[in-house]
Amino acid sequence: MKNIAVFVSGGGTNLQALLDAEKRGEIENGKITLVVASKEGVYALERAKNAGVKSAVINRKQLGESFDAALIALLEENKIDLIVLAGYLSILSPDFTKRYDRKIINVHPSLIPSFCGAGFYGLKVHQAALAKGVKVTGATVHFVNEIPDGGEIILQKAVEIQTGDTPEILQKRVMEQAEWKLLPRAVSLFCQGKL
């Protein structure tokens, strides 16, 4: 059984999708054993508590230079096999991503290589897609390396853009139709040794 840590920065909707998938038995050979938040007071911590999952806050601003060491110590103490970035807004250092090569996955709300990289997160991704006038967007689950959104692609799913979409409406559709389906599937594939 693989131990999974989910890194969060906000409401934790992708965390909830993973917890729900685990409850339904859709994450084969894996268990979410730790939730790591980038700051205090985010609703994702409440979701972890409600699910009976251990949680911790590792704040980069407070820890400064010792951030990586604190994160690594926490992961080792909990024998973590897979790190899932689920709306985690802190960029991980190149040293950290090298240490956990092919053991960190992220979900990004576009079809990489479109609308990705530094500065593209949350609603900004959907604003850019709508501004460009693309007809299809979607989500991508990928391995994390030292380049933001630059790691090997694991899964992708397209989502159609509809007339009258706002960034908020599009964000919700991409989550429901793509992110919440792809992320549990990718985690399960990893835990089964199929990636």
Question: Catalytic pick from 2, 47, 108, 126?
Answer: 108
Using an 8 Å Cβ cutoff, are 138 and 115 in contact?
no
**Residue 185: Cβ-neighbour burial (10 angstroms; 0-12, 13-18, 19+):** middle
C-alpha span between 42 and 22 (Å, rounded): 22
Torsion angle of alpha carbons 175, 119, 125, 87, nearest 10°?
10
Rounded CA-CA distance 23/25 in Å is: 5
- Tell me if residue 126 is catalytic: no
d(CA 144, CA 82): 11
Q: Under 8 Å CB-to-CB from 79, ≥6 apart: which residues?
A: 3
The token pair that represents 148 in the structure block = 């933001």
13-23 helix and 180-191 helix, angle to the nearest 10 degrees: 60
Active site members? 108
